[in-house]
Chain A
Amino acid sequence: MKLYQRITLLVSIVLTVVILAVSLSLLLFAKNTILSLSTEQVQRKQKTLRTSFSEMANYYARSDDSEAVHNSLIKLCFNRFSDQSSVLMREGKPVSTGVTIDPSAYVGPDSEAFSEGTPVAVTVQGRNLLIAGSSASVGTESYSVYVVEDITDTYARIRRMAWIFAGVSIAAIALGAGAVTLLVRRSTKPITALSGVAKEIADGAYEKRVAVRTKDEIGTLGEDFNRMADAVETKISELSERNERQRLFIGGVTHEFKTPMTGLILHTGLLRRANLSEDERDASLAHIESQTAWLERLTQNLLKLFTSDEEIELESVRIPELLETVEEGVAPKLKEKGAALTVQCETDTLVLNPDLMHSLLNNLIVNAANAYDADASEKPIVLSVTGRTFSVSDRGRGIPKEVQDRIFEPFFRVDKSRSKKQGGSGLGLALVKTIADAHGATIAVDSEPGKGTTVSVVLPE
């Protein structure tokens, strides 16, 4: 059962009980009051009749009145004060009566009600009657004076009142239940909305929020929910970013290992298989040492770059030496591709991170080499440093204009099929961008399909 249905049912039950209890109480009170008033009225009427009749009859009666005179006097005195509900009896026989029933059968002369003149309620042939009687003396004679009041109409009114009460109670309960249903539904609507938004967020729409319109507990719940959703979205965003960074790091490391690994594999292969001279062996081992050291530093730098917010370490680096290292590192790859690197340096020193910059230039050169078709006759690549600008140019296939904005996105590849064949993961230029950003440098791409590409990295002042 839904919450609003439960609440509605509970409130309806409470409402029903309360309304019925109140209605019944009121009805009983009204009935008792009305009957009490009727009873008092009848009692007063009987008392007045008895007293008036008795006083008048005793005033006029004489002991020497004949029976006929006495009877006529008694009737005159009684009729002077009586009406159609009055009965005068003597010794159980009627003297004057306008009613058909015998009141003494219901309020006997020996009863307590008779001695006190208390009205008694009886029902005779569907008629509700109040009968009050008491004795009156005229001389030595004792008479019974009764009032037989038909209060059937009063009972009918009470019954009508009861039906009206019942009708009003039912209507009140129905209205109350209806109003409660509407109110509760309206109140729980925000909870339903909350539930809906929670589902959407669970399905991935982390930006969804509930609209807070009230200042009550539901409103507070909504605000808290939105705060929670903000925290979740932020967390997920952080986690996604971290995940992305880790991916990039792993991808970057993997990517960067490729080039030096080529050299390392080459040199270790030489050391194992070839008969090298001492100098050639030293040179290979030195290459291996420098490459592995570079790889270790690169790993640390990449780790720092992708997984922490620490700034990279910058130092003043002699550019010619850096370029020499780069040239040496990339040589095996270029040889494999059949590409020729020309280095032009007009800058002496710059402040940068040598390992990361090495990686940056390495990636640009490898990309330039990959830009040529395998069957190209010439594959020239130019690496130049002028001022604070590092440029790598090729005359390869170029980058279509429509994707030039996306080439630095992680895992983006202009031509997926070719990259895959060449072992590309789409991370090279992303790394270049990341390293350039870490330096605060800007990257510019000048490329024309069929004519070649120049990528320039400008370090900040």
Chain B
Amino acid sequence: MKKHIFIILLAALLLLAACQPTPDEPVVLQKDQDLMIEKGSATLPPEESYTPPEVPKRYRFDYQDGALTIHADAEIVVPSVPMPIVNVRAQGIPQETMYRLFAFLSNGEKLLLPHRRTKSEIEEAIKEYSEMLNQTPPEGSDLTQEEFEYGLNLELESLKEEYKTAPDVDEERICDGTYEIQRSEWEPSEYAYLEAYGNNRDIVVKSSINADSQSWLRYYRRLKGFDAYEEMHTVPLDETVVLPDDLDAVSAAEQVQDFLNTIGEPFEIAAVYRVDDAMDGSTDGIVRDAQHYALRFDCRRLVNGVPLAVCASDSGYSDESYTTMWRQERLCLIVDADGIVTVNWLDPLTMTETVSDSSTLLSFDKMTGIAEKMLPIVYYIPSSERETTQEIGVRSVRLELVRVREQNNAKELKGMLIPAWVFYGTVQLTEHYASGEDFVYYTTYGMRTASPNYEGEEIVLCINAIDGTIIDPMLGY
């Protein structure tokens, strides 16, 4: 009897076990990027010097198809140095760099770390939350009792954790630029964090340690009389744009350059804009003349002397919900008459390896053939949306470096800088309503720019200079 049971059990186990076929050695394909690198990598003989690609003086192209109008009358900018391919990762801002930047931005002002609640303050909070556990969710809240209690319990857990290291008495903690290592349920792993507040300025920095989450540095100087210069009317600075007397572009640029120098890595000013608080009625119907002015400096990294492409918007998206979003690196400073007002540095890059010092590039003609074919396709408006018209204006075509991300790596922010022809211009969408009213806004790759009052340039099209593939800079490939 026992023998029969044993046999039955053994048979069951064998059936239950997921019998896997013997794994084979994989037959490997080269990924797109590897193919591209192979195609683009070139080793210049020592006796030859790099010759930039031949380009015309200007690039002109027109296209019209009813709803879509494309007009290109663009300058062409090509670096005089070879175009590298460089592996990068979003490593955040190193501590040493942070110390320098902190000293620069704090400008001698004592900045304090956020107030840490004392033990008695936390006890009060714990008591308050504990009492709330017996209550119903606040009126107007759509939380269920369960959700309400869950949230309170989470908060209580956090308070109890905070209590362990809470000071007995209120203490003033001066920030010296040192990161704190933190963890959060919303982040994949620990990260470095800095938060400091002063009477006149604040600095908040998040720096990814494992290149698996976004990093950023934000600096704000307190303004008098209004909130911020972001979302304000923005126009490229040229000789026609008037500045108030107390706002000097040269001096402002020097301040920006000082900041860039403090970083310790090669950066340059890419574009300058005048920012003001004039309103034309397109936002909330408010119309007013400008009263406050500042200068906005879009900066860009240089790699081996080659600039990175500049995204005017700090937007981004990922193609799948489980892929960590990774924006193109963006460094933007706003300077007013009193000095640097804001610094916004998003997703700083760390160079890890130079794959190729000099890439073999498609010719300009081949590239424009691709652009002229692809622009109408990329900006195609379906017939069902013919109440919308698009006007694309291309003002410059630049050979720059664009960051693409590593394929099949949803979690880590790793990629490479590759040469790309970047078409800068404007994409204006006009929605025509049956009432005869039109609504105009600017977009970047179908996404509205952060500022509806922005009159500067955006990336209109991005073409891989090695294999001619269209790159979506928002997506990263």
Check A72–B16 contact: CB distance below 8 A. Answer: no
Knowing A123-B21, A162-B16 touch, does A71 contact B468 (C-beta < 8 A)? yes
CB-defined contacts of B8 to chain A, threshold 8 Å: 16-17, 20
CB-defined contacts of B4 to chain A, threshold 8 Å: 13
CB-defined contacts of B24 to chain A, threshold 8 Å: 122-124
Q: Is A422 an interface residue (CB 8 A)?
A: no
CB-defined contacts of B57 to chain A, threshold 8 Å: none
Give the residue name and chain of the B residue nearest to A76 (CB): B470
CB-defined contacts of A23 to chain B, threshold 8 Å: 12
In whole angstroms, how far apart are the Cα atoms of A422 and B24 in the complex?
116
Give the residue name and chain of the B residue nearest to A73 (CB): B373
Contact stretch, chosen from B30-38, B144-152, B425-433: B30-38
Which of A73, A76, A123, A165 has the most chain B CB within a 10 Å cutoff? Answer: A76
Check B27–A69 contact: CB distance below 8 A. Answer: no
- In the complex, how many angstroms separate the beta carbon of A305 from the nearest chain B beta carbon? 67
Chain A: interface size category? 35 or more
Check A24–B15 contact: CB distance below 8 A. Answer: yes
Give the residue name and chain of the A residue nearest to B469 (CB): A75
Number of A-B contacts (CB under 8 A): 121
Which of B29, B35, B362, B378 has the most chain A CB within a 10 Å cutoff? Answer: B29
Knowing A13-B4, A75-B470, A123-B21 touch, does A102 contact B28 (C-beta < 8 A)? yes
CB-defined contacts of B470 to chain A, threshold 8 Å: 72, 75-76, 79
Check A13–B28 contact: CB distance below 8 A. Answer: no
In whole angstroms, how far apart are the Cα atoms of A166 and B12 in the complex?
9
Contact stretch, chosen from A41-49, A92-100, A349-357: A92-100
Contact stretch, chosen from A60-68, A245-253, A256-264, A367-375: A60-68
- In the complex, how many angstroms separate the beta carbon of A111 from the nearest chain B beta carbon? 15
Q: Is B23 an interface residue (CB 8 A)?
A: yes
Chain A positions 12 through 52: 1 when the CB is less than 8 Å from some CB of chain B, otherwise 0: 01001100100110011000000000000000000000000
Check B469–A99 contact: CB distance below 8 A. Answer: no
Which of B25, B31, B367, B410 has the most chain A CB within a 10 Å cutoff? Answer: B31
Check A98–B468 contact: CB distance below 8 A. Answer: no
Across the interface, B26 reaches (CB within 8 A) one of A9, A65, A101, namely A101
CB-defined contacts of B374 to chain A, threshold 8 Å: 72-73, 76
Chain B positions 402 through 432: 1 when the CB is less than 8 Å from some CB of chain A, otherwise 0: 0000011010000000000000000000000
CB-defined contacts of A83 to chain B, threshold 8 Å: 319-320
Q: Is A125 an interface residue (CB 8 A)?
A: yes
Check A162–B407 contact: CB distance below 8 A. Answer: no
Check B23–A124 contact: CB distance below 8 A. Answer: yes
Check B29–A94 contact: CB distance below 8 A. Answer: yes
In whole angstroms, how far apart are the Cα atoms of A17 and B24 in the complex?
37
Across the interface, A13 reaches (CB within 8 A) one of B1, B373, B410, namely B1
Within 8 A of A (CB), among B420-472: 463, 467-470
- In the complex, how many angstroms separate the beta carbon of B139 from the nearest chain A beta carbon? 43
Q: Is B17 an interface residue (CB 8 A)?
A: yes
Q: Is A432 an interface residue (CB 8 A)?
A: no
Check B26–A100 contact: CB distance below 8 A. Answer: yes
Chain B positions 241 through 273: 1 when the CB is less than 8 Å from some CB of chain A, otherwise 0: 000000000000000000000000000000000
CB-defined contacts of B31 to chain A, threshold 8 Å: 94, 97-100
Across the interface, A94 reaches (CB within 8 A) one of B9, B30, B373, B468, namely B30
- In the complex, how many angstroms separate the beta carbon of A137 from the nearest chain B beta carbon? 19
Within 8 A of B (CB), among A74-105: 75-76, 79, 83-84, 87, 94, 96-103, 105
Which of A13, A69, A101 has the most chain B CB within a 10 Å cutoff? Answer: A69
CB-defined contacts of B16 to chain A, threshold 8 Å: 24, 27, 162, 165-166
In whole angstroms, how far apart are the Cα atoms of A123 and B377 in the complex?
39
Check B362–A158 contact: CB distance below 8 A. Answer: no
Q: Is A401 an interface residue (CB 8 A)?
A: no
Check A84–B410 contact: CB distance below 8 A. Answer: yes
In whole angstroms, how far apart are the Cα atoms of A13 and B8 in the complex?
10
In whole angstroms, how far apart are the Cα atoms of A25 and B20 in the complex?
19
Check A66–B26 contact: CB distance below 8 A. Answer: no
Chain A positions 324 through 352: 1 when the CB is less than 8 Å from some CB of chain B, otherwise 0: 00000000000000000000000000000
- In the complex, how many angstroms separate the beta carbon of B250 from the nearest chain A beta carbon? 43
In whole angstroms, how far apart are the Cα atoms of A106 and B28 in the complex?
11
Q: Is B143 an interface residue (CB 8 A)?
A: no
In whole angstroms, how far apart are the Cα atoms of A27 and B407 in the complex?
36
Check A96–B32 contact: CB distance below 8 A. Answer: yes
Check A98–B12 contact: CB distance below 8 A. Answer: no
- In the complex, how many angstroms separate the beta carbon of A165 from the nearest chain B beta carbon? 7
- In the complex, how many angstroms separate the beta carbon of B423 from the nearest chain A beta carbon? 14
Check B17–A105 contact: CB distance below 8 A. Answer: no
CB-defined contacts of A17 to chain B, threshold 8 Å: 8
- In the complex, how many angstroms separate the beta carbon of A363 from the nearest chain B beta carbon? 74
CB-defined contacts of B367 to chain A, threshold 8 Å: 68
CB-defined contacts of B373 to chain A, threshold 8 Å: 60, 65, 69, 72-73
- In the complex, how many angstroms separate the beta carbon of A20 from the nearest chain B beta carbon? 5
CB-defined contacts of A204 to chain B, threshold 8 Å: none
Give the residue name and chain of the A residue nearest to B24 (CB): A124
Check A72–B469 contact: CB distance below 8 A. Answer: yes
A-B contact pairs, 13 of them (CB 8 A): A13-B1, A13-B4, A13-B5, A16-B5, A69-B370, A69-B468, A73-B374, A75-B469, A84-B407, A94-B30, A98-B31, A124-B24, A125-B25
The 3 closest A-B pairs by CB, nearest first: A105-B27, A72-B468, A68-B366
* Given A66-B369, A71-B467; 17 other pairs, CB 8 A cutoff: A13-B5, A23-B12, A66-B366, A68-B369, A69-B369, A69-B373, A69-B468, A72-B370, A72-B469, A97-B30, A97-B32, A98-B32, A100-B29, A101-B28, A123-B20, A123-B21, A124-B23
A: residues with CB less than 8 A from B are: 9, 13, 16-17, 20, 23-24, 27-28, 60, 65-66, 68-69, 71-73, 75-76, 79, 83-84, 87, 94, 96-103, 105-106, 122-126, 128, 155, 158-159, 162, 165-166
